[in-house]
Amino acid sequence: MHMETGDKIPEVLGLDQAGNEVRSSDFEGKALIIYFYPKDNTPGCTAEACSLRDFNSELEAKGYTSIGISKDSVASHAKFADKYSLPFILLSDPTTEVNQSFGVWQKKKMAGREYMGTVRTTFVTDTDHRITHIITKVNTKKAGEQLLELLADAGQ
């Protein structure tokens, strides 16, 4: 299953840094930026998180709440968020159920080896949590700027 523009996101989004289940209904009336990333504390994922951190106030000023999701543990997310002063929620999806529901849990190849993993993807929703934009080619070093440009081009 792949989420597409116009689709409503699933209700269950994962576990927050405190181990609490987070639901899309917890963000009623808020537009969301949900970014899926492979792993805490890796170069690309750290660059992406820090870019989103650096542009978080501009994204919030436009009415967006950012949420990061990976299959890393709640404890890993807590350390990662603390280490890089991330001002947004990181959700744990240890079973990959949320990754699968968004269609980002896919077969990947590295060094001739095939394995299942998270394909870095960002979803933008409106206040009804319908997907308005999907970014499949995320610029990890400029993820925040990439989102602001996309939203500006869309008149948001």
Give the pLDDT of residue 147.
Answer: 96
| CA 43/CA 69 separation, integer angstroms | 16
Confidence of residue 31 (pLDDT cuts 50, 70, 90): very high
CB-based contact 88:68 (threshold 8 Å): yes
Report pLDDT digits (tens) over 65-123.
999 999 999 999 999 999 999 999 999 999 999 999 999 999 998 888 999 999 999 99
Report pLDDT digits (tens) over 114-154.
999 999 999 999 999 999 999 999 999 999 999 999 998 87
Name the residue among 140, 145, 149 with its Cα closest to residue 49.
Answer: 140
CB-based contact 124:149 (threshold 8 Å): no
Confidence of residue 1 (pLDDT cuts 50, 70, 90): low
Catalytic residue numbers, as ranges: 45
Give the burial class of 63: count Cβ atoms within 10 A of its Cβ; 0-12 exposed, 13-18 middle, 19 or more buried: middle
Residue 63 in this model has a pLDDT that exceeds 90: yes
Q: Are strands 31-36 and 113-118 parallel, antiparallel or unpaired?
A: unpaired
Confidence of residue 11 (pLDDT cuts 50, 70, 90): very high
